[in-house]
Amino acid sequence: MNPHAPVRPAVPASVPAPVPAHVPVLVIGGGQAGLSVSHYLGHAGIGHVVLERETALHAWRDQRWDHFTLVTPNWQCALPGHPYDGDDPHGFMNRGEILDYLERFAARVRAPLREGVAVERLYLRDDGRFEAVTSAGRCTADQVVVASGGYQQPVVPRCAERLPAGLVQLHSAQYRNAAALPPGAVMVVGSGQSGAQIAEDLHLAGRQVHLATGDAPRCARFYRGRDVVDWLADMGYYDLPVHEHPLREGVRDNTNHYVTGRDGGRDIDLRRFALEGMRLYGQMLDVRDGTMRFAPNLGAHLDAADATYNRINASIDEWIAKLGLVTAEPASTYQPLWTPPEEAASLDLAGAGITSVIWCIGYRADYGWIDAPVFNGRGYPAHVRGVTPQPGLYFIGLPWLHTWGSGRFSGVGRDAEYLSARIGARLAQLAGAAPEALAG
C-alpha cells in the first residue's frame, strides 16, 4: 500500500448505511457499465455489491442538456436483458426517453446498489484481498470491477482564470439550454460531439455563436438511403476488436465524430453554420486582457473533418460495389459549401458581445485513488479486454475497451458478460477448484 496515494473527497448525498465488511466482488460505479456487470454476476449467483458515489445513472440525469439525443440509432441500445423495445428502432432517443430506458434497465437488474458511497481509496492488501476505503466504512473484496468510466474530471484550461469576471463560464456537463444563459453572444470552445451539438443547439435558439474548433472528425448521418451506422454495422466495424484495428490501442485516443440525432438525425456541417452566421475560429490558444487567441488552423480542421466524412462514405461505396447492392441513392462526394475568407487570430470578447463561454474540451480520467500496479505512463489502465495485469482487478465502460461499442449501450453488455465469466473462474480458483474451471 502507498500511504501517499491521493484520496478522493467523499461527496455522499446523505449518510448511507455501512458497507459490508467483505464481499466476493466489489463493483465501483452505478452507471450502465456497473449495472451490466451486476446483471451477469446476479444471474451467476456471485455475491457482489455496487457502490455509487452519487446516484445510479446520475450522469444521464444531471450532465446532459435538455435537447440531448443519442447519436446512434435506437436499435443499437442492447443492454443485457434489455434491448430497445420502443417503436422507432431507427430513431434517436431524446434525454427523457434515454432516462426511461435506463431506469427500466436498473429496475430489471435490481442490483445490490449502495448510493451516496464514495470510494476514496482502493488498494491491494498483503493477504491478496482488495480493500476499499469508502465514505461509509471499509470493505474488502476478492475481486474488483472499476466501472467509473473514463470521464471523471471536466477539462477547463487554466487560462479560463483570466477571463473577465463578469463572463458566465460552464463546462459542457453543466449546459442545459440557451435560455439559461444571459443575453448576448456565446463562445463555444471545442467542436467534438458535445461542442458541435451545443453550438447547434444555441444556433437553433437564435443565439450568436462563436465556435473555436478542434480536430474532431465528422461523418454523414445518412448516405445512399441508409443511416451510416447501419452500413458500418453490416460491414462489421462495430464487431472489430481493438487488437485488429489499424491503430490498435491508439484508437482509444481518437475523438468521436460529430453528427446529431436531433429532429430525426442529420449531418452537422460547420461550414453551413458559418453561412448562416456562426463565427468559426481555429484552436483556442490563450486568453489575455479580455482577448481570446486562436491558431491559424480553422481551414485545416474543416478540411480534415470533410476528408474523414468522404473517406467513410467511400468505404461504404466499396462495400456496396463488392456486394452488387442496389441503393436508393448514388455515390456522392461532399463539396465544401464555404471556406474561411481569412483566419482570425484573436477576438475581443467584450467587443463581440460575448457574455458566456462553454468549455467543450472533454474530460480527464481520475484513477489517483487506485493504488495498484496497472497504469501506464499516461495514467491509463493497462488491460486486455478489461482484464488488468493485477489478478482480480478489472475495468469496464472505457472507450474501445474491446470494440467501438464498449463505452456505449451497444457493446458494454458483451464486455460485462466476458468479465463476469472471468470473475467466476477466478472465484473458483480462489476456492480451490480444479484448473479446468479456469477455462474461458
**Does the structure show a pLDDT above 50 at 167?**
yes
Q: Return the pLDDT at 246.
A: 85
Q: Is 149 left (phi over 0), alpha (psi -120 to 50) or beta?
A: left
Is 13 part of a structural domain of the chain?
A: no
**Does the structure show a pLDDT above 70 at 436?**
no
Burial 380-419 (b: 16+ CB within 10 A, else e): bbebebbbbebebbbbbbbbbbbbbbbbbbbbbbbbbbbb
CA 320 – CA 163 distance, rounded (Å):
51
Q: What is the pLDDT of residues 286-329, one digit of tens each?
A: 999 999 999 999 999 999 999 999 999 999 999 999 999 999 99
In this structure, are 192 and 288 located in the same domain?
yes
In this structure, are 73 and 183 located in the same domain?
no
Task: Choose the weakest-confidence range: 14-23, 222-231, 283-292.
Answer: 14-23
Identify the domain boundary among 359, 391, 423: 359
Question: Could you tell me the CATH number of the domain that includes residue 423?
Answer: 3.50.50.60
**Does the structure show a pLDDT above 80 at 120?**
yes
Whether the CB-CB separation of 98 and 60 falls below 8 Å is answered with yes
Over residues 202-206, mean pLDDT: 97
User: Cα–Cα–Cα angle for 171, 172, 177, nearest 5°?
Assistant: 110
In this structure, are 126 and 193 located in the same domain?
no
Give residue 431's pLDDT band: very low, low, confident or very high (50, 70, 90).
confident
In this structure, are 434 and 307 located in the same domain?
no
Burial class, 79, CB count within 10 angstroms (exposed 0-12 / middle 13-18 / buried 19+): buried
Can you give the chain as a three-state secondary structure string?
Answer: CCCCCCCCCCCCCCCCCCCCCEEEEEEECCCHHHHHHHHHHHHCCCCEEEEECCCCCHHHHHCCCCCCECCCCHHHCEECCEECCCCCCCCCCEHHHHHHHHHHHHHHHCCCEEECCCEEEEEECCCCCEEEEECCEEEEEEEEEECCCCCCEECCCHHHHHCCCCCEEEEHHHCCCHHHCCCCEEEEECCCHHHHHHHHHHHHCCCCEEEECCCCCECCCEECCEEHHHHHHHCCHHHCCHHHCCCHHHHHHCCCCECECHHHCECCCHHHHHHCCCEEECCEEEEECCEEEECCCHHHHHHHHHHHHHHHHHHHHHHHHHHCCCCCCCCCCCCCCCCCCCCCCEEECCCCCEEEEEECCCEECCCCCEECCCECCCCCECCECCECCCCCEEECCCCCCCCHHHHCCCCHHHHHHHHHHHHHHHHHHHCCCCHHHHCC
CA 194 – CA 401 distance, rounded (Å):
21
Task: Choose the weakest-confidence range: 275-279, 304-308, 340-344.
Answer: 340-344
Give residue 8's pLDDT band: very low, low, confident or very high (50, 70, 90).
very low
* Predicted model pTM: 0.91
Identify the domain boundary among 343, 359, 375: 359
In this structure, are 148 and 158 located in the same domain?
no
> What is the pLDDT of the chain when averaged over all its residues?
92
In this structure, are 211 and 162 located in the same domain?
yes
CA 397 – CA 56 distance, rounded (Å):
15
Identify the domain boundary among 341, 359, 377: 359
**Does the structure show a pLDDT above 80 at 254?**
no
Q: Return the pLDDT at 433.
A: 54
**Does the structure show a pLDDT above 60 at 89?**
yes
- Number of domains forming the structure of the chain: 2
In this structure, are 344 and 370 located in the same domain?
no
For 130, residues 6+ apart whose C-beta sits below 8 A from its C-beta are 26, 122, 123, 124, 140, 141, 142, 143, 144, 392, 393
**Does the structure show a pLDDT above 80 at 439?**
no
- Domain range for residue 221? 154-359
Per-residue cell: 263: 429532429
Q: What is the pLDDT of residues 349-378, one digit of tens each?
A: 999 999 999 999 988 888 999 999 999 888
Is 260 part of a structural domain of the chain?
A: yes
Q: What is the pLDDT of residues 386-405, one digit of tens each?
A: 999 999 999 999 988 888 88
Is 2 part of a structural domain of the chain?
A: no
Give residue 48's pLDDT band: very low, low, confident or very high (50, 70, 90).
very high
Percent of the chain at pLDDT exceeding 70 = 95
Task: Choose the weakest-confidence range: 142-156, 172-186, 416-430.
Answer: 142-156
**Does the structure show a pLDDT above 50 at 128?**
yes
Q: Return the pLDDT at 88.
A: 97
Is 10 part of a structural domain of the chain?
A: no
